[in-house]
């Protein structure tokens, strides 16, 4: 008899691994059979993590399906911030945007990039921290990785920047130091060339939740620095053009 997939059980297992700071191989999990079950598992994991912030990451699957996951822990670095360090923790410099109005699901004309840009009320410099409870992350099962909140382990929202950065981020000088060592020094570069690509894709996804992309939501848009592993705790300093963000990753 084939065992039935249980999204609540998967979420409980992922949650336990996250609390322990450990990983398991993909083969040790019962895999979500489809997108709907992966999202259900993600929702149970978010409940176990007691996530209440309206802050999200967006991306697309290898098959081109737009997806999202909540950011947690989510902190604003107005007066400094600290995110827990875990072995394997990776860092990404990102731009986040806040929506000034709803982007409801459409069934006819897709949202244009201009419409999505118009819905953005503010932009910020930010940093995402990542390490999945799945040893291979999403390289074997993207649906399992989606259930595991796309590997998110925290987000630091930094200072507000000019909204025009959503158009001009590419090529902006970017320097990042960690524990006194330079871990990135070069032009900011988004994987898709346009920081709004995945947000536009998600806005036009008819399978997303009807409660998604509401006014006030904070959406991070993807890395500008690649994913750099942080091999130890320490202070992080980001200089994006002339805008600076500093925070720490701390053990324990």
- pLDDT (0 to 100) of residue 79: 57
- pLDDT (0 to 100) of residue 167: 97
For residues 79 and 248, the answer to whether their CB atoms sit within 8 Å is no
- pLDDT (0 to 100) of residue 1: 40
Domain boundaries, the chain: 52-250
Q: What is the pLDDT of residues 199-217, one digit of tens each?
A: 999 999 999 999 999 999 9
- The predicted model gives 74-87 an average pLDDT of 84
Distance CA 23, CA 121 (A): 38
Q: What is the pLDDT of residues 132-172, one digit of tens each?
A: 999 999 999 999 999 999 999 999 999 999 999 999 999 99
Distance CA 77, CA 82 (A): 9
Pairing of strands 82-84, 218-223: unpaired
Tell me the Ramachandran region of residue 49: left when phi exceeds 0, alpha when psi lies from -120 to 50, beta otherwise: alpha
Whether residue 116 is predicted with pLDDT greater than 50 in this model: the reply is: yes
CA dihedral 152, 157, 163, 164 (to 10 degrees): -60
Angle between helices 7-20 and 35-48 (to 10 degrees): 50
CATH 3.40.50.720 fits 52-250, yes or no: no
For residues 91 and 121, the answer to whether their CB atoms sit within 8 Å is no
Contacts of 112 (CB under 8 A, 6+ apart): 200
Q: What is the pLDDT of residues 61-79, one digit of tens each?
A: 999 999 999 999 999 876 5
Contacts of 27 (CB under 8 A, 6+ apart): none
Q: What is the pLDDT of residues 26-60, one digit of tens each?
A: 999 999 999 999 999 999 999 999 999 899 999 99
């Amino acid at each position: 008899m084939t065992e039935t997939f249980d999204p609540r059980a998967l979420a409980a297992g992922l949650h336990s691994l996250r609390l322990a700071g450990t990983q398991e191989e993909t083969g040790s999990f019962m895999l979500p059979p489809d997108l709907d079950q992966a999202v259900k598992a993600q929702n149970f994991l978010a409940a176990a993590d007691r996530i209440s912030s309206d802050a999200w990451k967006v991306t697309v699957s290898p098959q081109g399906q737009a997806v999202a996951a909540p950011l947690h822990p989510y902190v604003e670095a107005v007066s400094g911030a600290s995110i827990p360090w875990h072995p394997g923790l990776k860092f990404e410099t990102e731009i986040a945007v806040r929506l000034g109005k709803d982007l409801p699901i459409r069934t006819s004309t897709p949202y244009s990039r201009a419409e999505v840009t118009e819905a953005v009320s503010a932009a910020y410099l930010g940093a995402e921290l990542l390490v999945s409870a799945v040893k291979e992350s999403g390289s074997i099962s993207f649906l399992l990785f989606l259930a595991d909140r796309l590997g998110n382990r925290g987000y630091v929202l930094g200072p507000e920047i000019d909204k025009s950065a959503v158009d001009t981020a590419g090529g902006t000088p970017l320097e990042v130091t960690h524990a006194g060592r330079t871990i990135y020094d070069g032009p900011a570069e988004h994987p898709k060339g346009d920081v709004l690509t995945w947000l536009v894709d998600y806005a036009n996804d008819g399978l997303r939740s009807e409660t998604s992309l509401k006014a006030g939501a904070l959406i991070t848009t993807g890395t500008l620095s690649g994913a750099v592993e942080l091999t130890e705790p320490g202070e992080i300093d980001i200089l994006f053009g002339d805008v600076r963000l500093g925070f720490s990753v701390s053990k324990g």
